[in-house]
A and B are shown apart, each in its own frame.
Chain A
Amino acid sequence: MNRELLSRRSVLLGSLALTSLLNRESPANDHESMVHKGLPALPHFAPRAKRVIYLFQSGGPAQMDLFDYKPDLSKRFGEEVPRSVYPDDRKTTMSSAQASFPVAPSTFKFSQRGQSGSWMSDALPHMGDMADEMCIIRSMHTDAINHDPAITFQQTGSQIPGRPSIGSWIGYGLGSHNDNLPAFVAMSSRGSGKSGQPLYDRLWGSGFLPSKHQGVKFRNQGDPVLDISDPAGVSRDQRRTMIDSLTKLNRLKFDQIKDPEIETRIAQYELAYRMQMSVPDLLDFSDEPKHVMDLYGPEVKTPGRYAYNCLIARRLAERGVRFIQLFHQGWDQHANLPAQIGKQCKDTDQSTAALLRDLKQRGMLDDTLIIWGGEFGRTIYSQGKLTEKSYGRDHHPSCFTMWMAGGGAQGGVNHGKTDDYSVNVAEDGVSIHDLHATVLHLLGIDHERLIHKYQGRDFRLTDVHGTVVQPLIS
Chain B
Amino acid sequence: MSERLFSAGINNSSYTASPLTDPPALRPAPQASRTRPVFCLTRFFPCLLLSLVSIIARGDGPDLEFNHDVRPILSENCFHCHGPDNATRKADLRLDLADSAMSVIEPGDPESSELIRRILSTDPDEQMPPPDSKKQLTSNQRQILTAWVRKKGSFESHWSFTPPKHVMPPNLDDDKWSGGMIDKFIFAKLREEKLSPSPPAKRATLARRISLDLTGLPLSPKALDEFLNDDSESFVEALIDRLMHSPRYGEHMAIRWLEASRYADTDGYQNDRYRYQHVWRDWVIEAFNKNMPYDQFVIEQIAGDMLPNATLRQQIATGFGRNHRINSEDGSIPEEWRTENVVDRVDTFGTVFLGLTIGCARCHDHKYDPISQREYYQLFAYFNNVAEWGVGPNNGNSPPYIEIPKNWPNLNPGEDRLIPPDAVKLRNARAEAGNGLQRPQAGSLSTLMVMHELDEPRATYILQRGQYNMPDQSAPVLAGIPDSLTISNESMPRNRLELAKWLFEPSHPLTARVAVNRLWQQFFSSGLVETSENFGSQGSPPSHPDLLDWLALELRRNNWDIRAIQKQILLSQTYQQSSQFTKNLIERDPKNRLYARGPRGRLPGFALRDQALAISGLLVEQIGGPSTKPYMPPKIWKSISNNTYQRDQGANLFRRSLYTYWRRTIPPPTMMNFNAAAREVCVVRTETTNTPLQALTLMNNKVFIEAARWMAQRMLAQAGNDPKQAIRRGYRLAVGRMPTSDEMSIMWQTHANFLAQYKENPTEAEKLLATGTTKRDQTIPPAQHAAMTMIATILLNLDETISNE
One of B98-106, B507-515, B687-695 contacting the partner: B687-695
Alpha-carbon distance between A99 and B771 when the two chains are bound, in angstroms: 59
From B331, B579, B581, B633, A145 is in contact (CB under 8 Å) with B331
Check: A210 CB closer than 8 A to any chain B CB. Answer: yes
Which chain A residues lie closer than 8 Å to B327 at the CB level? 146, 148
Which chain B residues lie closer than 8 Å to A228 at the CB level? 696, 700
- Which residue of chain B is the closest to A223 with respect to CB atoms? B633
Which chain A residues lie closer than 8 Å to B602 at the CB level? 261
A226 touches B590 (CB 8 A): no
One of B374-382, B447-455, B621-629, B675-683 contacting the partner: B675-683
Task: Give the interface size class of chain A.
Answer: 35 or more
Which chain A residues lie closer than 8 Å to B764 at the CB level? 233-235
From B538, B697, B769, A227 is in contact (CB under 8 Å) with B697
Interface string of B572-599 (1 = CB under 8 A from A): 0000000111110011001100000000
From A229, A246, A257, A456, B700 is in contact (CB under 8 Å) with A229
B691 touches A232 (CB 8 A): no
B538 touches A457 (CB 8 A): yes
Check: A6 CB closer than 8 A to any chain B CB. Answer: no
A93 touches B666 (CB 8 A): no
Which chain A residues lie closer than 8 Å to B743 at the CB level? 249, 252
A148 touches B329 (CB 8 A): yes
Alpha-carbon distance between A195 and B580 when the two chains are bound, in angstroms: 55
Check: A39 CB closer than 8 A to any chain B CB. Answer: no
Alpha-carbon distance between A249 and B178 when the two chains are bound, in angstroms: 35
Alpha-carbon distance between A24 and B688 when the two chains are bound, in angstroms: 12
Q: A97-B435, A219-B633, A238-B754 are in contact. Are A271 and B689 (CB under 8 A)?
A: no
A29 touches B687 (CB 8 A): yes
Interface residues of B, dominant DSSP: loop
Among A1, A250, A265, the most chain B Cβ lie within 10 Å of the Cβ of: A265
Check: B357 CB closer than 8 A to any chain A CB. Answer: yes
Check: A188 CB closer than 8 A to any chain B CB. Answer: yes
Interface string of B610-639 (1 = CB under 8 A from A): 000000000000000000000001110011
Alpha-carbon distance between A30 and B699 when the two chains are bound, in angstroms: 26
Q: A199-B640, A219-B639, A226-B633 are in contact. Are A29 and B688 (CB under 8 A)?
A: yes
A455 touches B330 (CB 8 A): no
Check: B424 CB closer than 8 A to any chain A CB. Answer: no
Which chain B residues lie closer than 8 Å to A28 at the CB level? 590-591, 688
One of A200-208, A308-316, A353-361, A423-431 contacting the partner: A200-208
Check: A448 CB closer than 8 A to any chain B CB. Answer: yes
Interface string of B783-805 (1 = CB under 8 A from A): 00010001001100111100101
Check: A92 CB closer than 8 A to any chain B CB. Answer: yes
Task: Give the interface size class of chain B.
Answer: 35 or more
Interface string of B750-786 (1 = CB under 8 A from A): 1001100100000011111111000000000000001
B794 touches A25 (CB 8 A): no
Interface string of A151-174 (1 = CB under 8 A from B): 000000000111000000000000
Alpha-carbon distance between A160 and B359 when the two chains are bound, in angstroms: 12
B357 touches A456 (CB 8 A): yes
Which chain A residues lie closer than 8 Å to B269 at the CB level? 148
From A221, A257, A455, B357 is in contact (CB under 8 Å) with A455
Check: B23 CB closer than 8 A to any chain A CB. Answer: no
B600 touches A257 (CB 8 A): yes
B437 touches A93 (CB 8 A): yes
Which chain A residues lie closer than 8 Å to B798 at the CB level? 246, 249-250, 253
A222 touches B633 (CB 8 A): yes
Check: B431 CB closer than 8 A to any chain A CB. Answer: yes
Which chain B residues lie closer than 8 Å to A5 at the CB level? 586
B688 touches A95 (CB 8 A): no
Alpha-carbon distance between A28 and B695 when the two chains are bound, in angstroms: 19
Alpha-carbon distance between A27 and B790 when the two chains are bound, in angstroms: 30
Check: B333 CB closer than 8 A to any chain A CB. Answer: yes
Which chain A residues lie closer than 8 Å to B691 at the CB level? 22, 24-25, 211-212, 268
From B268, B436, B582, B672, A94 is in contact (CB under 8 Å) with B436
Q: A198-B642, A222-B635, A241-B750 are in contact. Are A232 and B767 (CB under 8 A)?
A: yes
Alpha-carbon distance between A92 and B333 when the two chains are bound, in angstroms: 7
B790 touches A242 (CB 8 A): yes
Alpha-carbon distance between A160 and B638 when the two chains are bound, in angstroms: 24
From B438, B667, B766, A233 is in contact (CB under 8 Å) with B766
From A257, A262, A269, A327, B695 is in contact (CB under 8 Å) with A269
Interface string of A228-248 (1 = CB under 8 A from B): 111111110011011001101
A and B contact pairs by CB, cutoff 8 A, 24 listed = A5-B586, A25-B689, A28-B590, A161-B678, A161-B681, A188-B640, A197-B270, A210-B687, A219-B639, A221-B633, A221-B638, A226-B633, A231-B700, A233-B768, A233-B770, A233-B786, A238-B754, A238-B790, A242-B793, A249-B798, A265-B690, A272-B692, A455-B357, A457-B367
Q: Which residues of chain A have a CB within 8 Å of any CB of chain B?
A: 1, 5, 21-22, 24-29, 31, 89, 92-99, 145-148, 160-162, 188, 195, 197-202, 205, 210-212, 216, 219-223, 225-235, 238-239, 241-242, 245-246, 248-250, 252-254, 257-262, 264-265, 268-269, 271-272, 275-276, 304, 327, 329, 383-384, 394-395, 448-449, 455-457
Query: A-B pairs with the 4 shortest C-beta distances?
Result: A456-B538, A233-B768, A92-B331, A98-B434
Q: Which residues of chain B have a CB within 8 Å of any CB of chain A?
A: 75, 134, 268-272, 327, 329-334, 340, 357, 360, 367-368, 431, 433-438, 469, 531, 533-534, 536-539, 579-583, 586-587, 590-591, 600-602, 633-635, 638-643, 664-667, 669-670, 672-673, 675, 678, 680-681, 687-697, 699-702, 705, 740, 742-743, 746-747, 749-750, 753-754, 757, 764-771, 786, 790, 793-794, 797-800, 803, 805
Other contacts beyond A238-B754, A242-B790, A457-B538: 20, CB < 8 A: A5-B586, A25-B691, A27-B590, A93-B334, A96-B436, A146-B270, A148-B270, A162-B681, A188-B640, A222-B634, A226-B669, A231-B700, A233-B769, A234-B764, A242-B793, A250-B798, A259-B799, A259-B803, A272-B693, A275-B696
